[in-house]
């Protein structure tokens, strides 16, 4: 077991103020916290990142890279856009290039849990797209993933899942990432 609680950093959401992918991420992070982890939410909308490579730096870039470099585990949550992840979410991942030459390059040894929300039922497409990125960044995906279907009706006004099965799946993912982070740190 790690001496200190593992830090689980959630990265995701869309540019929508009522983002379902951010709500899903918050539910999973709550479960990781309940399992004993410290948690931090990196909301893609709030990070307000410039495009990677555009030559402009921003406070959100420092927050993203500092939190990711400190993370013992991560949870990613993107909407499904045209069979893949959203451009805003992918741009956040592109900024992790700044971690290439760190003490721990990219996400080396870091477990990552994956969530996608979709208008239809094909959220697994975005999950699969994210899995390739985790591997490219030398991270480890946890086997359990959560594609949330019919995202427009999946959460109530307070951000809670309407379907108990979705709530249970997101909680399972949060716990699994917290446990994987502890095991990998041991």
Ligand X SMILES: Cc1cc2nc3c(=O)[nH]c(=O)nc-3n(C[C@H](O)[C@H](O)[C@H](O)COP(=O)(O)O)c2cc1C
CB of 2 to ligand X, least distance (A): 31
Nearer to ligand X, 93 or 180 (CB): 93
Q: Which stretch binds ligand X (CB under 6 A): 36-44, 74-82, 90-98, 170-178?
A: 74-82
User: Helix-strand-coil percent breakdown of the chain, rounded to 5?
Assistant: 45, 20, 35
153 binds ligand X (CB under 6 A): no
Q: Which stretch binds ligand X (CB under 6 A): 31-39, 79-87, 166-174, 175-183?
A: 79-87
Give the position of tokens 């893949």: 84
H/E stretch holding 41: strand 38-43
Binding to ligand X (CB under 6 A): which residues in 9-28? Answer: 13-14, 16, 19-21
Contacts of 6 (CB under 8 A, 6+ apart): 37, 38, 72, 73, 178, 181, 182, 185
Pick one of 108, 120, 132, 162: the residue that binds ligand X (CB under 6 A).
120
2 vs 31, 36, 142, CA distance in Å?
A: 18, 11, 18
Nearer to ligand X, 18 or 97 (CB): 18
Which residues form the interface with ligand X (CB under 6 A)?
Answer: 13-14, 16, 19-21, 79-83, 117-120, 122, 151
């Amino acid at each position: 077991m790690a001496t200190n609680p593992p830090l689980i950093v959630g990265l995701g959401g869309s540019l929508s103020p009522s983002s379902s992918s951010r709500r899903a991420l918050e539910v999973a992070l709550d479960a990781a916290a309940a399992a004993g982890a410290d948690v931090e939410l990196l909301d893609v909308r709030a990070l307000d990142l410039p495009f990677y490579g555009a030559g402009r730096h921003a406070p959100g870039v420092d927050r993203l890279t500092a939190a990711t470099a400190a993370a013992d585990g991560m949870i990613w949550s993107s909407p499904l856009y045209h069979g893949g992840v959203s451009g805003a979410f992918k741009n956040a991942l592109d900024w992790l290039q700044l971690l290439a030459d760190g003490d721990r390059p990219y996400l080396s040894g870091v477990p990552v849990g994956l969530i996608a929300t979709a208008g239809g039922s094909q959220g697994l497409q975005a999950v699969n797209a994210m899995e390739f990125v985790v591997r490219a960044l030398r991270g480890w995906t946890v086997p359990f993933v959560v594609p949330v279907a019919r995202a427009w009706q999946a959460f109530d006004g307070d951000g809670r899942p309407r379907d108990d099965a979705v709530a249970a799946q997101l909680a399972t993912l949060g716990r699994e990432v917290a446990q994987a982070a502890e095991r990998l740190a041991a």
